[in-house]
Amino acid sequence: MRSQVPDVTVVVATRDRPGLLERAVASILNQEYEGRVECIVVFDHVPVRDLVVPVGPNRALKLISNTHRQGLPGGRNSGVDAATGELLAFCDDDDIWLPSKLARQTALLVHPEIGAVSCGLRLRGPGIDKDRVLDSDFVYLDDFLADRIMEVHSSTMLVRRSVWAAAGPVDEDIPGGYSEDYEWLLRVAAQTPIAIVREALVIVDWHGGSFYFGRWAMIVEAQRYLIAKHPELAQSREGMARLRGQIAFALASGHRRTEAIKELAAVIRLNPLEKRVLATVPVIMGLMTGERALRMAQKRGKGI
């Protein structure tokens, strides 16, 4: 008789990416995990379509519509509404889970004081195939106040349902859904340390483009929303410089030069070594567009 292992629900929010979606779902249903795995695919205000993916024993596939606000946050919240698992996870519709992901992560959740687990990831796309793995066993709230910590990606997260309930759902009010994952992680980390499996168990499709290219005004609004919602971010000068550096970059990219210069001055006062200063100055001077600067960073597996 197999030992009792918790049921896991994995939510995949999607819109108009059928081939990539089926690849993601197959990687979830093919996990080397003894427990039940339920995959809920949430179609974001588009018709629900059938998926050609084998569903084996102890596996379930549900296809539903987003009943919340349109966008990724609403899709994830709709999926959790329909979830039956004791543990909750998310996977972007263009990412891939390696077969041992759930088994490795749930092994850490036997400790009752651990409420969430992440793992390393592999960036894979044109010109890049690179592992990003943390060298620590835990990530805490203070770590997220200082840095976004790219390695703790939404597709790597596995949380107890009790942690979800305490932290609250994904914020559907954040403008454009921008930084929704980071905002949610701040609330999760306030409830529990996030344990880390020091191995790349998720492949992130790093395609070098971005849904947010050119949406500079929305990025400015979203980052200011984030700062206003989480006053604890001010505890870290480096972290606040990073966020305001992103605002300065977006202002410069959106041709709001005077505002960008004023924001950049605040960034320098917070942290003269903030790397986004060097990325923003050429954009302010008209030597480079924001889109080009962002593409150059993405080719190195980074963001701005």
DSSP characters for 91-134? --TT-EE-TTHHHHHHHHTTSTT--EEEEEEEEEETTEEEEE--
Between strands 128-132 and 116-125, the pairing is: antiparallel
Q: What is the pLDDT of residue 19?
A: 85
Q: Tokens for 194, please give them.
A: 């996030």
Domain ranges of the chain: 8-205, 216-299
If phi > 0 it is left, if psi is from -120 to 50 it is alpha, else beta; for residue 210 that is beta
Segment holding 129, helix H or strand E: strand 128-132
Q: What is the pLDDT of residues 32-52, one digit of tens each?
A: 999 999 999 999 988 888 898
> What is the rounded CA–CA span in Å between residue 22 and residue 166?
32
Beta bridge partner(s), residue 204: 123
> What is the rounded CA–CA span in Å between residue 239 and residue 116?
23
DSSP helix/strand/coil, 9:
strand
Q: What is the pLDDT of residue 129?
A: 92
Q: Tokens for 179, please give them.
A: 């930084």
**C-alpha radius of gyration, the chain, whole number:** 20
According to CATH, the superfamily of the domain at 8-205 is Spore Coat Polysaccharide Biosynthesis Protein SpsA; Chain A (3.90.550.10)
Beta bridge partner(s), residue 203: 96, 122
Residue 249 has pLDDT above 80, yes or no: yes
> What is the rounded CA–CA span in Å between residue 123 and residue 302?
10
Between strands 194-205 and 138-139, the pairing is: antiparallel
Q: What is the pLDDT of residue 267?
A: 97
Q: What is the pLDDT of residue 1?
A: 34
> What is the rounded CA–CA span in Å between residue 204 and residue 2?
32
Q: What is the pLDDT of residues 184-239, one digit of tens each?
A: 999 999 999 999 999 999 999 887 555 556 799 999 999 999 999 999 999 999 99
Instruction: Find out whether 193 and 141 touch, Cβ atoms under 8 Å.
Output: no
Map tokens 């306030």 to a residue: 190
Q: What is the pLDDT of residues 137-182, one digit of tens each?
A: 999 999 999 999 999 999 999 999 999 999 999 999 999 999 999 9
Residue 126 has pLDDT above 70, yes or no: yes
| Angle between helical axes of 237-253 and 257-270 (0-180°, round to 10) | 160
Q: Tokens for 76, please give them.
A: 């994830």
Backbone angles phi, psi at 117, to 5 degrees: -135, 140
Instruction: Find out whether 202 and 122 touch, Cβ atoms under 8 Å.
Output: yes
Please tell me the total number of residues recorded for the chain in this structure.
Answer: 304
DSSP helix/strand/coil, 262:
helix
User: What is the average pLDDT across 268-291?
Assistant: 94
